[in-house]
Amino acid sequence: MKTHLRFARWCSTTAAIGLVVMLCLLGSGLPASAQQLKILSFDAPGADTNPGDYNGTVANGINNRGAVAGYYIDVNNVYHGFLRSHDGRFTTFEAPGADTTPNSYNGTAPAAINDLGEITGTYWDASGYGHGFLRRSDGTFTTFDVPGASNYGPTPLALNWEGAIVGNYTDQNYVFRAFLRNPDGTFVTWVGPDACQTDPSTGCYGSGASNINGFGIIVGGYEDTSGNFVHHGYVRTLNGQLQPFDVPGAGTGSYQGTGCPGCALGFNQFGAVAGTYIDANSMQHGFLRTHDGRFTTFDAPGAGTGGGHGTGCPHDCPTSLNDWGAITGTYIDASNVYHGYLRSPAGKVVTVDPLGSIFTLSSGMNDFGVITGYYQDANNVYHGFFAVQD
């Protein structure tokens, strides 16, 4: 009962939150009614902006209040978490137990934020082992390890309003498996139907869960045992049933299929799924799957048409889908340059590239069309960004 009441409160306050977000964006110089895409870049305090260091600010998630979560890498090559409020105020933080030894490449790396301001992600201890964390809106932490996790540890990727967290982890044999951490701290783990269950040295990247909506329905993907490690998507129902799906036109050759390792699927409250698929020519395309299994495929203008090019990327590119049906993600042009894109609910696709970017990755979007992500400039420094349009 408490779960349903909490979600109902979210539904009833969404409109009010939207008004607040839009007014705040207007006050910060990002007009909500802009005819053109408006992009604002930002750097977290303490981020290394020295040319050539490949450090800086990485924005990973945005909520309906306009708050952004992510991490920055400092001059000592340590990862730190940050929360940027809608009005531009930063809070930086470390998960308890995170190693901040200089040049350790350890620290804290948030992955997602919900509308309550709760944040999940990974932190690494002094041995380089990964652990999960949940940071509540009051700044208190819960850290966790998935039972049976070993080697790389857990990688939380998403959470919903109830505080349920999903992601992947590796077991003692380096096999990638999916997990759900329930709000009460209990865990459920699984692998996809006919999923490969060997370590990455064999070419297998196993199973993972990449998103969860307010009703507790989960989406993810897995590689199969065909010998080609073909990738498939799935929906996990409330009763734990896995329903695999493949986009029409997805290839069945080596590392082709629906989705890709580390590529988080977009998922909304209405059960629609968005992501990328790889065809028989190893070219990426975007897709939208409705709750009843109907597919729409698309390509961003400017996306390359050769192998390894297209709308999406071969690994580790998230797609975000809001409740209005807008989609944001990444495309690769014929010169292997990464760009962000925004696809409107009507199907129009525009490029999302901050000024001066040589690499853009759009990592999240809220229900009011505000996009966040990060980009690399010509000095090899990473910066976070916002993008807003009508």
Q: Which residues, listed in sequence order, are joined to residue 231 by a DSSP beta bridge?
A: 223, 257
Measured CA angle at 358 (ends 37, 51), to 5 deg: 120
Residues of the chain with pLDDT under 70: 1-35, 390
Token reading at 1: 């009962």
Query: For residue range 80-95, what is the model confidence (pLDDT) as tens digits?
Result: 999 999 999 999 999 9
CATH class of 2-388: mainly beta
134-165 b/e with 16+ CB inside 10 Å = b?
A: bbeeeeebbebebeebeebbbbbbbbbbbbbb
Q: In the prediction, which pLDDT does 35 show?
A: 40
Residues 6+ apart with CB under 8 A from 4: none
Q: In the prediction, which pLDDT does 36 show?
A: 72
Q: Is 212 exposed, middle or buried (0-12, 13-18, 19+ CB in 10 A)?
A: buried
Q: Cα dihedral sign for 171, 176, 181, 186?
A: negative
Q: Is 264 exposed, middle or buried (0-12, 13-18, 19+ CB in 10 A)?
A: buried
Please spell the DSSP secondary structure of 204-266, one letter per residue.
---EEEEEE-TTS-EEEEEEBSSSS--EEEEEE-TTS-EEEE--TT---STT-EES-TT-PPE
DSSP, collapsed to helix, strand or coil, labels residue 371 as strand
Q: In the prediction, which pLDDT does 390 show?
A: 55
Q: Which residues, listed in sequence order, are joined to residue 134 by a DSSP beta bridge?
A: 120, 142
